[in-house]
Amino acid sequence: MDSGAQDGRKRKNIQVGLDVEIVQKHHQRTGQLTRGIVARILTKSADHPHGIKVKLASGEVGRVKKVLD
């Protein structure tokens, strides 16, 4: 993982307005990442092994793989 990137599996690292990279459900096999700004945090638990689920400002939903600076 990049030294500047935070872990997307912990809810405390995710905030509305952050620039993140997510993997959408239909891209899980390929691992294709989508970059965007967090609009809503959908996961209620403190952490999730596959990443916290968020909705981006663009409307796309996926699990956070990287929190960008």
Q: Do 22 and 54 meet the contact criterion of CB atoms below 8 Å apart?
A: yes
- 18 and 67 Cβ atoms separated by less than 8 Å: yes
pLDDT, one tens digit for every residue, the chain (69 residues): 444 568 899 999 999 999 999 999 999 999 999 999 999 999 999 999 999 999 999 999 999 999 997
- Percent helix, strand, coil in the chain, to 5, is 10, 40, 50
Note the pLDDT of residue 5: 64
Q: Cα separation of 57 and 5, whole Å?
A: 20
Query: pLDDT at position 4, please?
Result: 52
Structural domains of the chain ordered from first start? 6-67 (2.30.30)
Picking from 40, 34, 29, the residue whose alpha carbon sits closest to that of residue 65 is 34
